[in-house]
Structure 1
Amino acid sequence: MSPFFKSSTGLPENIAATLCYLFAFIGGIVFLALEKRSRFVLFHALQSVLAFGAVMIAHVLSGFIPLIGPLIAGLLSILTVVMWVVLLFSSLQGKWLKLPWIGDLAEKQLRHL
């Protein structure tokens, strides 16, 4: 028996939260639409949408910077992969890992759901 509660999707909370990150932006949107009960899953879905949405915008903007734009994009890619792996494993373990700024924003939005 899993020590995690089941979300309204029927999945254990840690698995649902991990799927929010595994499929990055899209997974977060799907679980925002499907989840009705679990604050844990909703927090990770919001954080996924906000974090990976910001990364996508930063990648687009780096394309407009002459000369150092590709360097910025490369560093951003490395940082994104590290962040993705850390978020995957922390959510799988059932942790409420809150990213700076984005985690606070997700937490504030969670209060309004």
Structure 2
Amino acid sequence: MSAALTDQSLQDEIPHLGLLRKGERAVVRGFAHTHNAEQLALKTRLLELGFAPGEQIRVVAESFPRRDPMAVKLGNTTFALRRHEAALIHIAPADRSVA
């Protein structure tokens, strides 16, 4: 086994929005590296919608039974995101004192 980690294995170690469950909160930390034009366009669109570093987010709903798509509250707006889209958004734990 190689000592060097691949980009994908590094990506898997970074917490991202796609891992959260209903009711969980987080803070946007940044975005994943993009590997193609489609991902770059999606990342740009998410940033334009307000998924900027420092923003508080909360998962308000998940589809049943496979949890995809998910509904995410950002400010006063709710967005529906597929898990693969949410995986582009890196997160950090939210401050518990913020309601």
Query: For this structure pair, what is the TM-score category when the shorter chain's length is used for normalisation?
Result: under 0.3
TM-score (normalised: structure 1): 0.25
- Which structure's relative contact order is higher, taking Cα pairs within 8 Å and 6+ residues apart? 2
Q: Which has the higher strand share?
A: 2
Tell me the TM-score normalised to structure 2 length.
Answer: 0.27
Greater Rg, structure 1 or structure 2?
A: 1
